[in-house]
Each structure stands twice: as structure tokens, then as C-alpha cells.
Chains A and B, each alone.
Chain A
Amino acid sequence: MSESILQARGLKVYYRTKRGPIHAVDEVDFDLRIGETLGVVGETGCGKSTLAKSILGLLPPGSQVDGSLKFRDRDLLKLRPTEFRKLRGEEIALIFQDPMTRLDPLMTIRNHFLETIHVHRPEISKAEAIELAAEALRSMGIPRSRLNHYPHEFSGGMRQRIMIAMAIVLKPKLLIADEPTTALDVIVEAQILEILRDLKRSYGMSLLLITHNLGIVAEVCDRAAVMYAGKFAELGSVNDVFSKPIHPYTQGLLASTIHLETNKLRSIDGLPPSLLSPPSGCRFHPRCPHAKDICVNEEPAMIEYRPGTLAACHFGRDFA
């Protein structure tokens, strides 16, 4: 097992609401290895974006975090906001879903870059910073002449390339991409995924990719974590998770995904639970075709059923 860059142990994130706490992330353990791409996949409201926000220190005020989250020997949960700001953008960078709302419409692309670089590395001169920016843009297929343009002068795919160029300009160790291609068309999505794959190869960056699209995970990631109702249901190599899923939720999710080879429609009965009052025991039990009494009463632990593959299911052995 290679060294990990990010380590979560018993990570919990609660949002306080008038109707009680929402357990958005509940006791999650994982390691992100150096140079690895981990895909976190799940449906709306499963907690995957909250997980990303907790790593970036971008949780809304009033949220409560517990457990430990280590990034290269530093516990992110204990960092003060100023320290987090220093880290974010330099060592940990992120790519959002909607590039339009993340770029300032009144600032040229050049100024976006200059600001980012200046905040983190004030010692870099303006001329050098522009060179860095031009190089990052060039690696994304955008000529330097466009540094003087404003965000609205770019297409959606170009804006996402600019976001990626800004994210990597300071050569971060960890890149977090939250649904990076959801707002894009399929051909542009494929172009961006190609870029992410290249980045991993050329910079050896670790990548945490949050998505609801199983196809993207299969094509870009080394390992996949399947999230359900705030918890990891399964974690393992992409090959294992996709070809021999252990958790019934993973099985159901894979079977209900409509892709070009689909010849029978399947779905999972029922609905994802409310995180205000999650079901007892295994959170998937009300929708699980294999549920027994133990699933209602006892919460399953993440157990390594195959080397490198963990699942939280009482009957994992039967499916492994």
C-alpha cells in the first residue's frame, strides 16, 4: 500500500436544522493515496458534496464536524480559517460543477490568475505570474492571447478548462472535482475527462472526483467509493466494484444505470431515506431485496471482503 495524502477516520459532518441534525456524512473512513484518483459516487443527497466541502473547509457555518481528516500530517478539522485559506488553492485545489458562476464576470482571465497566484505566492512577480498563467492555459488548449478576455467570451467547455488551469497553476498535491462535467455536453465532457486523465499522468496529482455518473468513474478513477445516505456502502478498485459489486446498493445502482449496453430496465424500489431520521441498522435495508432482521437492528461495519474491497453489508460474504 502506497503512502496516502488524505486520511479520513470516523469523519462526521452534521448540519443543524430546526427539525434536528442532518447526518450528511456519518462515520466515513478512507485513504486517498498519492497519485491516485478516487471516485465518490452516489445519488442526490447521499453526502458526497458535503464530503468534498469538509476537505476544503468550505462547510457552511453551523455545521458540526467530528472525527479526523488528515492531509499530509495536518488535521484539516483543526485548522483555523486563515490556515485553511493558505492551503486551499495552493496545495488543495478544486473544480466546481458550474464554471460560469465561479468566475467573476467583471474580471479578465488574467486577473483571475494574478489574484490566485498573488494570494498564495506574493513573491512571484507579475510577469512571472502571467507566464505561469499562460502556460497553464496553453496546457488546456487555450492560447495566451485570450488572457485578456472576460469569462462571458468563452464557451462552457472553455470556462471549465480555465477553471482547471487556475486550479493547477500552483501545482497542487490534491485536486477535488465536484461534478466537473455535469453542466457540459457529452463531447465536451469527454474532452475534459481526457484532460483530467492527462493531469494525473503528467503531474502525479491525487484526484478526488465526486460524481453521480458511474461511466465517468469507470473511465477515470482507480478506486471507487459508493456512498449511500451519508455512509460508504462499498470501497474498492474500480474493476472490483463494477464487475463484482458486493453491497446490494452498488448492485442496484449499477443495474439501474442506463447505458448503451442496457437491454433491460431495472430500478431500486423505494426512495433514498431522509438524513434527518435515517433508518436503523443498515440504512439501505428498507430498499434492499436481501434484508433480514439483523439488517434492521444492527449497523453493518465496513469489512474487507476481498483484498482491497470493503463493503458495509451483513451478508457481504455471500456476495463477495
Chain B
Amino acid sequence: MTDTPVLEVENLKVHFPVKSSAIQAMGQALFRGLKGADASAQDERLIHPRVHAVDGVTFQLGHAEILGLVGESGCGKTTTGRTVLRLLKPTSGRIVFEGEDITNRKEDKLRPLRPRMQIVFQDPHAALNPGMTIGQAIMDALLLHETRDREEAKASTLRAMDEVGLTPAEDLFSKYPADLSGGQKQRAVLARAIILRPSLVVADEPVAMLDMSIRAKILELLLELRDRYGIAYLFITHDLATAKFVCDRIAIMYLGRIVEMGPTELIFRDPKHPYTRALLGAIPVPQPGRVRERTLPRGEVPDAIFPPAGCRFHPRCPVVLPTCGWEGHDFVDYLDQRRLNPKQAHADEAVIGEAEGWRADLFEARRRLRNQDPGAVASYVRSILPQAPEAMTKAVIGVDVVDDEVVVRFRNPDALLPKEVAGRIVECLLY
């Protein structure tokens, strides 16, 4: 065991610009002109919309360690995996691979490191060139990075195929991907990844495409290769059960942030973050009659272009506090939610008009009034707020009339920092 971690990632951010159409671009330019110098943070987000795919992620990966990056689609796990291998460019932060800072390293300077950092993709059918035999596909990596001697390369390739259970290797060497089953193809992809003896393999959902009855074998193989060659894996998955089985440590991601990270056993035995609890509670268990009472989070993962303020999980959190980041959006969503009840919908519409008229501006929600009496609208809003989730109601610091607008104001959220709680890192104001 060496002291330097294989991989150190510090406050990594990866943002993607949102492509806009010519008309949208004109609108944005116009908006920028109108706002001029007094553009708020919210305005800035409208002018330059960006997908906050990864938004401040910090972790380390030790020698021969398996760290699971777990989360739902769109949480940034795959982007994190690709960026640490520098297949994508980070927006900010630091990536250190085997002690060398590779955050901004150029491609030609990265190439000598590539043999030591490999990736295994989810879809083995797409990861293999259909026009190349299995042997060629695996051997190519060797010929590119290590040796020019084809005989030697072939011998190593056959050995690697043996190691991943692609047997008889001699026969399969000259087969094409189409002749292999899904499991065999994933073995070939693994052989290609390990033949250069990497210290780091990013395994992105390596068994998600495979049938249940063959998944276990591939996972066992991953563990075996780790033991034999001391490979560290960044194991990316949406499947907590698989992660539980394979990983030493687990990092739960939500909307670009790690919300909880620690030893696997600890996190599964006693999850601390409400999101981790929700994820664990939602997994269907193949044991009939064990249907557990669960409080599912409301709704779905929000848009990563406008991630919620404060804790990103707050709009869905079952144990949310007034300090978690309530904002104008939440008020607009609340009005929308009320429309499911025809009576409320009717009453709301009569006094305050349609929910579309409301505009969320960070910690405020405002609505311009045309013919209504501002005082009456404000007092109606105050009267319906107590029916909202308690934490949200408590986060409101005022419902005021400003000029011809009614403004619902929320308090600023408390600062959210990762804390050490019972042997793991948690980012939640409950602790």
C-alpha cells in the first residue's frame, strides 16, 4: 500500500453551456441590455444558462480501493467519472492522479498516463468495434502504448483473455463482437482495460446492461482483478444493491454534489442524509410481504440548469427545515400543487389569478397586479401559507406589496458545509 492516493479530486466543477437557438440568444442579449449593471445572480443564470452537472465534488481514492459513486440519472456521476480521466474538461477544481496534477494538462501530455487510467463503459456492444476481432481490440491498446512486437502482444493478449475468463482464448481471439454474448463482451472490455495494468479504472455501470443471472460473475471478476493487480475502481452505478456488494466506500450524489460519503457498511446500516434514506427505502426488495411503509420524496430530480438554492434536496426532503434554502420557485410550485385540489384551485384563481403570473427571483416570488387590490392579494397569500409544508411557511419572512407587485420573501438559507457525522461525511443541516 502506497501513501499517495491514486486519485484526489478537490472541489471539482463541470458546467456545460446550454446551447440556445438564435431567437433565444437574441432574447438573452436583449435581457442583458435591459438589466445592464444591476443584473442579479438569478438574471445571470438566465443570461448564461449552464448545466451544473458536477458542482463542487471532493473525494480521494486509495490504492486498490473501490469507491462507489451512486445516484439517480442526472446526478453527475458519469460526468465526474469522465472528468477525472480528463475525457472532459473541468470548469474548476483540481484533479490529481498518482500525485500529478492533471486538471489542465494537455492531451499529448496526458497520453503517457493513459495506460494507468482506464474506463469500462456500460454498454459492451457499443464499446467494441464490430469490425475488429476481440483479439485485435484488446491487443490494440498494447501495440499503441507498450510494444511493437506483435508476437509478444498476442501472447499477452491471450493471457489477459484467460484472466478475464474469455476461454478458450485461442478460439475467441479471432471472433468478432457479434459472435459473443453480452457477458463475454463485457469480459473483453475488461481485458482491454486491465492489459496495460492500470492503477485506476472508472467502471461506469459495468453490469447494468447484463442479465441478472450473469451479473454476479462480472462483479466477482472485478473484485478478483482488484485483488490481483491492486486496481482502484471508481465504480459508478445507480444500483445501491450492487454498490453495497462491491464498494469499500460509497459516495451518494444528488444534482452534482456528494451528499453523503463513507464506508459502505456504515452507510447501509445507518444512512444519515435524508436522500440516502429515501434511495434505500425506494428499492424494491424481492421478498414478498415485506412491503415497507415508506415516505417517498415528492416529485423528481429538478433541472440542473437551475438547481435549488441551499440544499438541493430541500424541495423533496421529508425532514426539511426552514433554513434549508426555501426560495421563490418553491412558492410557485406550492401554488401549482394546490391546483390538484379543485376547490383550492378555484379559490386561488378567483383572488390571485393563475400561477403562471408568478415569477421566482431567487429568494422571492413576485406577481405584478393589474386590476386586483394588492392588499387583498397579499392577505390571501398570507392566509394560504399556513397550509404549505411547515418548514416552508416558517421560512417566509414577509408578504409585502411593493409598487404594483406582491412579493413573497424567504429567509436566506444557512450555510451548508460537509460535516463529519458518525464516521462519514454528510452535507445536511440536520447535523
> With a CB–CB cut-off of 8 A, which chain B residues contact A216?
284
Q: In A255-297, which residues have CB < 8 Å from any B CB?
A: 256-262, 265-268, 271-272
> With a CB–CB cut-off of 8 A, which chain B residues contact A64?
none
> With a CB–CB cut-off of 8 A, which chain B residues contact A212?
211-212
Q: Is the CB of B238 within 8 A of A262?
A: no
Q: Counting CB contacts under 8 A, is B266 at the interface?
A: no
Looking at the assembled complex, report how far the CB atom of B54 sits from the nearest CB atom of chain A, in whole angstroms: 18
> With a CB–CB cut-off of 8 A, which chain B residues contact A44?
211
> With a CB–CB cut-off of 8 A, which chain B residues contact A315?
none
Q: In A197-240, which residues have CB < 8 Å from any B CB?
A: 212-219, 238-239
In the assembly, what is the distance between CA of A187 and CA of B268, in Å? 17
Q: Interface residues, chain B, CB within 8 Å of chain A?
A: 72-73, 181, 183, 211-217, 219-220, 238-242, 244-245, 268, 278-291, 294, 296-297, 299-301, 336-337, 339-340, 342, 345, 354-355
> With a CB–CB cut-off of 8 A, which chain B residues contact A262?
241, 244-245
Q: Is the CB of A259 within 8 A of B288?
A: no
Q: Is the CB of A256 within 8 A of B284?
A: no
Given contacts A186-B283, A258-B245, contact A265 B216 (CB under 8 A): yes
Q: Is the CB of B241 within 8 A of A259?
A: yes
> With a CB–CB cut-off of 8 A, which chain B residues contact A141?
340
8 inter-chain pairs at a CB distance below 8 angstroms, sorted by A residue, are A43-B211, A44-B211, A143-B337, A144-B339, A185-B72, A186-B282, A256-B216, A258-B242
A-B complex: 7 closest residue pairs judged by Cβ atoms: A215-B284, A143-B339, A185-B72, A267-B216, A265-B216, A190-B282, A214-B286
* Stretch of A65-73, A77-85, A153-161, A167-175 lying at the B interface: A153-161
Q: Is the CB of B73 within 8 A of A267?
A: no
Q: Is the CB of B238 within 8 A of A259?
A: no
Q: Is the CB of A254 within 8 A of B296?
A: no
Q: Counting CB contacts under 8 A, is A17 at the interface?
A: no
Q: Counting CB contacts under 8 A, is A150 at the interface?
A: no
Q: Is the CB of B73 within 8 A of A185?
A: yes
Q: Counting CB contacts under 8 A, is A188 at the interface?
A: yes
In the assembly, what is the distance between CA of A261 and CA of B73, in Å? 24
Q: Counting CB contacts under 8 A, is A2 at the interface?
A: no
Residue of B242, B296, B345 near A187 (CB, 8 A) is B296
Looking at the assembled complex, report how far the CB atom of B319 sits from the nearest CB atom of chain A, in whole angstroms: 15
Q: Is the CB of A215 within 8 A of B211?
A: no
Q: Counting CB contacts under 8 A, is A125 at the interface?
A: no
Given contacts A155-B300, A194-B296, A265-B219, contact A259 B214 (CB under 8 A): no
Which has the most chain B C-beta neighbours within 10 Å: A155, A185, A191, A216?
A185
> With a CB–CB cut-off of 8 A, which chain A residues contact B213?
43, 252-253, 256, 267-268, 272
Q: Is the CB of A271 within 8 A of B297?
A: no
Q: Counting CB contacts under 8 A, is A138 at the interface?
A: yes
Looking at the assembled complex, report how far the CB atom of B270 sits from the nearest CB atom of chain A, in whole angstroms: 14
Q: Counting CB contacts under 8 A, is A145 at the interface?
A: yes
Q: Is the CB of B285 within 8 A of A219?
A: yes
In the assembly, what is the distance between CA of A144 and CA of B296, in Å? 23
In the assembly, what is the distance between CA of A271 and CA of B339, in Å? 52
Residue of A158, A238, A259 near B283 (CB, 8 A) is A259
In the assembly, what is the distance between CA of A44 and CA of B210, in Å? 9
In the assembly, what is the distance between CA of A155 and CA of B74, in Å? 12
> With a CB–CB cut-off of 8 A, which chain A residues contact B278?
187
Looking at the assembled complex, report how far the CB atom of B97 sits from the nearest CB atom of chain A, in whole angstroms: 30
User: Of all chain A residues, which has the CB nearest B207?
Assistant: A258
Given contacts A43-B213, A256-B213, A258-B242, contact A242 B72 (CB under 8 A): no
Which has the most chain A C-beta neighbours within 10 Å: B212, B216, B290?
B212
> With a CB–CB cut-off of 8 A, which chain B residues contact A260?
240-241, 244, 268, 280, 283, 285
User: Of all chain B residues, which has the CB nearest A137?
Assistant: B340
Q: Counting CB contacts under 8 A, is A34 at the interface?
A: no
Q: Is the CB of A190 within 8 A of B285?
A: no
Residue of B245, B296, B301 near A265 (CB, 8 A) is B245
> With a CB–CB cut-off of 8 A, which chain A residues contact B280?
260
User: Of all chain B residues, which has the CB nearest A211?
Assistant: B284
Looking at the assembled complex, report how far the CB atom of B21 sits from the nearest CB atom of chain A, in whole angstroms: 14
Looking at the assembled complex, report how far the CB atom of A209 sits from the nearest CB atom of chain B, in whole angstroms: 12
Looking at the assembled complex, report how far the CB atom of A158 sits from the nearest CB atom of chain B, in whole angstroms: 7
Q: Is the CB of A213 within 8 A of B211?
A: no
In the assembly, what is the distance between CA of A191 and CA of B281, in Å? 12
Q: Is the CB of A219 within 8 A of B284?
A: yes
Q: Is the CB of A193 within 8 A of B284?
A: yes
Looking at the assembled complex, report how far the CB atom of B183 sits from the nearest CB atom of chain A, in whole angstroms: 7
Q: Is the CB of A185 within 8 A of B238?
A: yes
Q: Is the CB of A253 within 8 A of B212?
A: yes
> With a CB–CB cut-off of 8 A, which chain B residues contact A187?
72, 278-279, 282, 296-297, 300
Looking at the assembled complex, report how far the CB atom of A119 sits from the nearest CB atom of chain B, in whole angstroms: 28
Q: Is the CB of B220 within 8 A of A265?
A: yes
In the assembly, what is the distance between CA of A143 and CA of B299, in Å? 13
Q: Counting CB contacts under 8 A, is A243 at the interface?
A: yes
Residue of B183, B240, B294, B340 near A143 (CB, 8 A) is B340
Q: Is the CB of A143 within 8 A of B288?
A: no
Q: Is the CB of A271 within 8 A of B181?
A: yes
Q: Counting CB contacts under 8 A, is A189 at the interface?
A: yes
Q: Is the CB of B288 within 8 A of A243?
A: yes
> With a CB–CB cut-off of 8 A, which chain A residues contact B214?
256, 267-268, 271
> With a CB–CB cut-off of 8 A, which chain B residues contact A259?
241, 283, 285-286
Looking at the assembled complex, report how far the CB atom of B304 sits from the nearest CB atom of chain A, in whole angstroms: 12
Looking at the assembled complex, report how far the CB atom of B343 sits from the nearest CB atom of chain A, in whole angstroms: 12
> With a CB–CB cut-off of 8 A, which chain A residues contact B216?
256, 258, 265-267
In the assembly, what is the distance between CA of A213 and CA of B214, in Å? 14
In the assembly, what is the distance between CA of A259 and CA of B137, in Å? 34
User: Of all chain A residues, which has the CB nearest B275?
Assistant: A187
Q: Is the CB of B284 within 8 A of A267?
A: no
Residue of A158, A215, A272 near B286 (CB, 8 A) is A215
In the assembly, what is the distance between CA of A267 and CA of B165, in Å? 15
Given contact pairs A190-B281, A190-B294, A271-B183, enumerate 4 new A-B contacts (beta carbons under 8 Å): A185-B73, A252-B213, A260-B244, A271-B214
Looking at the assembled complex, report how far the CB atom of A260 sits from the nearest CB atom of chain B, in whole angstroms: 5
Q: Is the CB of A156 within 8 A of B300?
A: yes
> With a CB–CB cut-off of 8 A, which chain B residues contact A157?
299-300
